[in-house]
Each structure stands twice: as structure tokens, then as C-alpha cells.
Structure 1
Amino acid sequence: MLSPHELATLMLLNGNERRIESLDPDVLALRRYELVEVHEVRGGIAALQISARGRDLLRRLGMDTARHARPN
């Protein structure tokens, strides 16, 4: 079960928040639950990305980005 802080962190990542550190305790827990992945980009910089499992959880909670995306 996710803590409120872990769920909030997942929601922040869903909102494209990029200032969350990959070593943040909540991010580490989300990685352990396989809800978030860390990918290395240029220069050894870590980029956080919600996994398919994480997107599925957000979809089931009604928080998926596709549902909340604004039309252009």
C-alpha cells in the first residue's frame, strides 16, 4: 500500500514535475513497487519516468494524464 507521500510523489511525476530527486525516499519506494523508472540521459543525469504499472495505477484512480490533457 502506498503512503500518502508516495502517492503525492507519483501524482507530481504525472504532472511532469522534474525537480524530484531520484534518491528521494518516496521515489525509492515507488521504484521498489515498480511504479517509477529512472533512465540515464546525457551527461549522467537521471530522468524519472512513470512505468506502465504506475500509469495503470493512476488510470484506475482517475488521475491519468490522457484524461486531464487540455486540447490544443
Structure 2
Amino acid sequence: MLSHHELATLMLLDDTDKRLEDFDPDVLALRRYELVEIRQRDPQGLTLQLTRQGRELLERLRTGAGR
């Protein structure tokens, strides 16, 4: 189960390409759950993107919220 911080991070990544620190515990958890992946690594941090599983999870959350 994702924490509210992990869910917020997942939603933030869905809005735009954000650069986050690779040691951020929420990012590490989302990568472990295979919900996000590294797209680019540079001196300013990581550029992350949602995986197919991450997009599907957010879609299920949106669909369930409308009920």
C-alpha cells in the first residue's frame, strides 16, 4: 500500500516532468513498486516518468473517485 506521500509524488509526476533527488524515499518506493522509472539523470537530479503500471494506477484512482 502506498503512503499519502508516495501517492502525492506519483500525482506530481503525472502532471509534469519533475526533477527529483534520487535518494528521496518516496521516489525510491515508487521505483521499487515499478510505478516510475528514470528517464534521465543529470547534475540537477533525476527526470522521472510514470510506467504503464503507474499510469494505470492513477487512472483507477481517478475512476474510483468519480463514483
Q: Identify the TM-score tier after normalising by the shorter chain.
A: 0.7 to 0.9
Between Structure 1 and Structure 2, the one with more strand by share is: 2
What TM-score comes out, normalization by structure 1 length? 0.73
**Mapping 1:31-46, distance limit 5 Å:** 31-40=31-40, 44-45=41-42, 46=46
Corresponding position of 1:56: 56
Equivalent position of 2:5 in the other structure: 5
Matched AA of 2:56 = D
Higher mean alpha-carbon deviation, 46-55 vs 10-19, is at 10-19
Alpha carbon RMSD of aligned pairs, Å? Answer: 1.7
TM (norm. structure 2) is: 0.78
Question: Which runs of no fewer than 5 residues in structure 1 stay unpaired?
Answer: 64-72
Q: How many residues align?
A: 60
Which runs of 5 or more residues in structure 2 are unaligned? Answer: none
Q: Which amino acid aligns with 1:32?
A: R
Give % identity.
60
Task: Supply the distance in 1 between the matched residues of 2:48 and 2:8 (Cα, whole angstroms).
Answer: 15
